[in-house]
Every structure is written in structure tokens, then in C-alpha cells.
Amino acid sequence: MSTQSVCSTDGGILHMVPSSLSLCGPNGPAEDGASTGNIDVTNFSSSWSDGLAFCALLHTYLPAHIPYQELISQDKGRNLTLAFQAAESIGIKPSLDIDELMHTDRPDWQSVMQYVSQIYKYFET
């Protein structure tokens, strides 16, 4: 399966590709791929379950709201809370419930896609 990066030096975000995508952290893409905080997103379910993909996506637009370099995948509750609070601060209502997400590693893909679409529409249209 091929992976395509979705970050670019000009602030690009999320391009849907059939195979998979990669969200880049605040440092953008590094030539060697090291220390960028890249997150491989292969689906709209488990790839988003620890909250890091939501944080990386929102950090692109709201860097002051997401201390991305401090985040770790093991702190799922903090990651999800930061992402949802950042989105709510600009009027994007969560279509996902943090309590439900805390108890699953495979959130409903349609709900995740709907939420990501809301974020995309707010910033890109």
C-alpha cells in the first residue's frame, strides 16, 4: 500500500487518496522523515482513535490551541479533548463523543469522516 504525505511547506492539509495518507506535525516534512511527528492515516476509524490525527489536522490551522510537540499517543483523553476544544473554539461542533472514543480503538468511520469533513469545510471552503 502506498502512502502519500498530506502536508506541504505551503500549509497544505488533507488530500484524500485511495491508499493512505500521512498527516505531518508542526515541523512539516523532513527529508529523512525523522522527528516530524508524522501520523499515518490508513482509514477513518482506528487511525484517528488516539486523537493525534485530529490534533495534527487542527494544529495546521490553530497552532496556538494544540501544543502538538507535547502530545503522545498514550494520552488519548488529552489529545481528544485538545482537538475537540480547539474545533469548538471556532464553532465546529463535535459529531463524536469523547467518552465513547475513550472506550474503543475503532470509532465509527462515518462519524470520524463527518467530523473531518466539518473541519475541512470550515477552513478550506
Q: What residue segments make up the domains of the chain, in order of their start? A: 4-124
pLDDT bin (cut points 50, 70, 90) of residue 62 is very high
Tell me what pLDDT residue 35 has: 32
| Helices vs strands, H then E, count in the chain | 4, 3
For residue 27, pLDDT beyond 90: no
Judge whether 68 and 52 are in contact, CB under 8 Å.
no
pLDDT tens-digit map of 68-86: 999 999 999 999 999 999 9
**What is the CATH architecture assignment of 4-124?**
Orthogonal Bundle (1.10)
pTM here is 0.75
